[in-house]
A and B are shown apart, each in its own frame.
Chain A
Amino acid sequence: MSENGNLFLRNLAGFWKTFRQNKLGLAGGFLVLVAVLVAVFAPALTDYDPSDIIRDANNRALTFAPPEVHGILGTDDAGHDVWSQLVFGSRISLVVGFMAGFIAMFVGSALGIAAGYFGGAIDSLIMRITDVLLVIPDLPLMLVLVATIRQMELKISPLAVLIVVIGLLYWTSTARLIRSQTLTIKERQFVARARAIGAGHWHIIRKHILPQLMPLIVANTVLILSTAILIESGLAFLGLGDPTKPSWGTMLNFAFDRSAISNGAWWFYLPPGIAILWVSLGCILLGNVLEEMLNPRLAAHHLEGEAGMIAIADVESKG
């Protein structure tokens, strides 16, 4: 319906007007946008393929060449161009991070809504599973899972394994957040009215609960993205990435393995580190600001000065 579309646009315009005022949010949005643009236009940003070996005049591989000698960021131990690795690595990091983040968000929201809405035994079951996942240290568990799945030689892309494992382990905080919010929405009178009309569970969840949760889910997704990207980097750094498709974490792993640090090749290990920082900082800034703006309970527009600080502290303690 066109009139609905107009309303959506009007809301969007109002949202942008508020968002524009927020410097932190703008900064976060800028960081994320740049990373996404780099990933999309990667081939246009570099002359080399990440697997090309750069050779000097004598046709010998140019190893550990500093930026002054070759290209923008020099070469690595095997003579690959670092800048093109960085640019193409953004695709892997972002795709793995985003897909894992979306899986986590989807699973967490679905389980959180089910637990909060139905309550009782379903709630207990889901929350106990959540508790178990929360107390198991994530990283060792993921290492074991990823390594075991690789061993089984299922002919799945290693990146897909990474995505699924991160996605299926990182929904716990989302599930708890969504559950608690669902519990409050469920008790509101418009849900009672929907029940009194004769609406079924599916209708109530879809039409009454989900629309109220949407802002929270959006903000939480952006925050989960940063976690997923960090986790992907961590696993790749520990050698669980796909060596044929290097992400930023894989680059760090190579740099560490091949003694880039003792060789003083800062152009090899600093850029991927900064890139990871860049994206996760951007996601966190954007996510916090979105959460603050979209979650009416954290709304701080009318608070000034110290009271505003309290609202921000509230956001941080939740994150």
Chain B
Amino acid sequence: MNQTPMLEVRGLYKYFPVHQALADSLMRRPHSNVKAVDDVSFSLARGEVLAVVGESGCGKTTIARTLIGLEALTKGEIVFDGKLVNAHSQQPHIGLKQLRKRAQMIFQDPYESLNPRATIFEIVAEPLVVHGMIKDRKERVAAVKSALDDAGLRPAEDYFMRYPHELSGGQRQRVVIASAMVLQPELLIADEPVSMLDVSIRAEILNLLRDLRQKRGISIVFITHDLSTVAYFADRIAVMYLGRMVEIGPAREVLQNPQHPYTKALISVAPVPNPRLRRERVILQGETPNPINLPSGCRFHPRCPVAVDMCKENDPQLIELKQGHQAACLLVTKS
């Protein structure tokens, strides 16, 4: 088995410059940035599923878009299969086009991610066309058919000539998955693939992703705000808050023994299908701070139920607590 991690992210920053008003620019006020992703590092082993969890605006979608090159990173390094993603590097590197042949992304909204004027066949065959693969017509039809089959759209031929608007949301997401899998990628970046779907369909799509992973051994970065879907099939969980990873570790460990107060609060409010079970819920106070002017010290301290004075001054780093379980909280490291 290849020991090189599928994906390694080192010190990733993504700032979006805020458009400056004329007055500010005349007064020479410094440019401000939305710090969408602020120093994030993680790695993903081959065949592993990493779930990135966090509330809206914490930067998890930005990470997904940066990984596939839809956003240019501000600072940091992305290493895919031991090669730096940057065609101009001196080190062993991989260009975006090559990366996009081996890594695919699934978007959140299945209603928006399919071209309304393309047939399902065209959509699923598109990656093959773009990368000039499987030029023989019969083989291409066979490849599209098997991709649709694997995605659970059977009989595949019935879908070839249909348009996206003739399909349901779940079927559309299956088309998106078929199109992502037709190139047999090694890495799949799934940006909230089920959050727009009905609960009844979610499980089907998640099962489908799990089956694909078991059959093909692909690695998945699974982005979600929903902890209950995470528990379902992630190997590891990374929790994000305001552009920073606050906790990362094996899924079971993080869910059963959360260390960061933000993770504890998230887990405490996740619904449990047992009405008799009473748990103490941690309801966070206040709003998420503005990602342009981050709070001093620990960025979670204004909402943290257990914050103490030193949290206002010291910005905690991820500290290894147990084998592979890291959290960024001053109180945790102390105890």
Contacts and interface: CB of A to CB of B under 8 A. Distances in A.
B109 interface: yes
Interface residues of A, number: 20
Contacts of B70: 192, 195-196
Contact of A211 (B104, B113, B118): B118
B161 A3 contact: yes
A128 interface: no
A211 B107 contact: no
B86 to A, nearest CB: 16
Interface in A1-24: 3-4, 7
Nearest to B97: A198
A193 B105 CA distance: 8
Nearest to A210: B117
Contacts of A7: 119, 161
A197 interface: yes
B96 A198 contact: yes
Contacts of B129: 203
DSSP majority for the A interface? helix
B53 interface: no
A41 interface: no
Contacts of B130: 194, 197-200, 203
Contact of B126 (A3, A207, A212): A207
Contacts of A199: 126, 130
A267 B96 CA distance: 70
B131 interface: yes
Contacts, number: 66
B101 interface: yes
Given A192-B107, A193-B105, A199-B130, A207 B118 contact: yes
A188 interface: yes
B83 interface: no
A211 B117 contact: yes
A190 B112 contact: yes
Contact of A196 (B100, B131, B160, B161): B100
Interface string B82-119: 00000000000000110011001101010011111111
A203 B100 CA distance: 15
A189 interface: yes
Given A7-B161, A196-B69, A200-B130, 18 more contacts: A7-B119, A188-B112, A193-B113, A193-B114, A193-B176, A194-B115, A194-B130, A196-B68, A196-B100, A197-B126, A197-B179, A198-B97, A198-B100, A198-B127, A208-B115, A211-B118, A212-B115, A212-B116
10 contacts: A189-B113, A190-B113, A195-B70, A197-B100, A198-B127, A199-B126, A207-B118, A207-B126, A212-B115, A212-B117
A-B residue pairs, 8 tightest by C-beta: A198-B100, A189-B112, A211-B117, A196-B105, A189-B113, A190-B115, A199-B130, A197-B127
Interface of B: 65, 68-70, 96-97, 100-101, 104-105, 107, 109, 112-119, 122, 126-127, 129-131, 160-161, 176, 179
